[in-house]
Structure 1
Amino acid sequence: MSPPPELPRDDRVALDFHRSVFGGRITVATDDDAHNVTDPAESDQMMYGEILSDNGFRVMVYDVPSHTAWDPGAIPVFVSARGVDAEEIAGYWGELAAGATILMPLAPAQWTPLYGMLRDRFGVTGVLDVEIAWEG
């Protein structure tokens, strides 16, 4: 398995892509907006970015400043999208899978009617599944 591609310094393209999949609205605050500029070349980086979908799904992101160590292999990040409707999850999967590396195809699993894992074209690993009631 090859390492994931580096995320672009400006994650706004990835943020907009995920908004197109999950819907909702984007909120962004740059380092300049927050009066937190440590390097003038990075003043337009996202200090805070968020997608809030109409159904409550939330993704939060930020640009890693150059003075901060970042190794995506050492601290992996997963986005988990869980829903109660298989059709909804399959729809998200179809959009996220375009240009993605499929790590585990979306299919029935022992614990759920649908489960899949992929690394999207921005290097974000996504886990999608259908929620079921746990009996315990």
Structure 2
Amino acid sequence: MTLTTTLHINFDGQAAAALAFYAEVFGGTVTAVPYGDTAEVPHQRDQIVWGEMVAPSGVHVMAYDIQRSLSYDRGTNPFYLALRGPDADEVRSAWEGLSQDAEILAPFGPSAFSPLYGKLVDRFGVVWIVDVIAPWNG
């Protein structure tokens, strides 16, 4: 059996837009189930009860809109989503897509541990660290 881990992001009404954005950046496919297709939360009919974006490159993000009956706090640095790969062109393309309307925390460029590294907060408030995988020579 093979196990994987996938980032699951909780949103407050932005899950569909975030999944569509990530699909655009990574060339992925979105599957999303609105609350309206369930009897669970009728007052959130158009919001997402379960969703994911899967790209051919292997990038996989899950997301949903948290039920209004639960408290929602995006928090401060609750996680970073690390996007890493060996192909500099592929990593650079992902950075360029994610950086649309983003707050850049560390500009994309050489670092002490990677030929290319950057950190940003995307337009949905998700913190991404993006880098080219390189062997550590330290």
The answer to whether the superposition gives a TM-score over 0.5 is yes
TM-score (norm 1): 0.82
Whether the 8 Å CA contact 2:35–2:49 is kept in 1: the answer is yes
2:14 and 2:96 mapped to 1: Cα distance? Answer: 25
SS of residue matched to 2:120: strand
For residue 30 of structure 2, what is the aligned residue in structure 1? 26
SS in 1 for 2:65: coil
Indicate yes or no: 2:74 matched with 1:45: no
Equivalent in the alignment of 1:9? 13
* Equivalence for 1:107: 109
Tell me the equivalent position of 2:5: none
Partner of 1:3: none
The residue type paired with residue 25 of structure 2 is V
Runs of 4+, deviation exceeding 4 Å: none
Provide closer, same or farther for how the CA distance between residues 72 and 80 of structure 1 changes in structure 2, counting only shifts above 3 A: same
User: Which segment is superposed worse, 71-80 or 107-116?
Assistant: 71-80
- The alignment's C-alpha RMSD in Å is 2.2
Residue of structure 1 in register with 2:100 after alignment: 98
> CA 1:109–1:75 in 2, change beyond 3 Å: closer, same or farther?
closer
Looking at structure 2, the residues matched to 94 and 75 of structure 1 have their Cα atoms a distance apart, in angstroms, of: 22
How far does residue 11 in structure 1 lie from its aligned partner after superposition? 1.9
Superimposed CA distance per residue, residues 56-108 of structure 1 (whole angstroms, 9 cap, x where no aligned partner): 11011111111111111256243221111111111111121121110111111
Gaps of 5+ in 1: 1-6
Tell me the percent identity.
37
Residue type at the aligned position of 2:125: G
Structure 2 match to 1:87:
89
Distance of 1:75 and 1:67 partners within structure 2: 24
| Structure 2 residues without counterparts, runs of 5 or longer | 1-10
CA distance in 1, matches of 2:43, 2:50: 17
- 2:16 partner amino acid: R
In 1, Cα distance between the equivalents of 2:102 and 2:76? 21
TM-score when normalising by structure 2: 0.81
Match of 1:123 in 2: 125
The count of aligned residue pairs is 128
Code of the aligned partner of 1:22 = F
Structure 2 counterpart of 1:70: 72
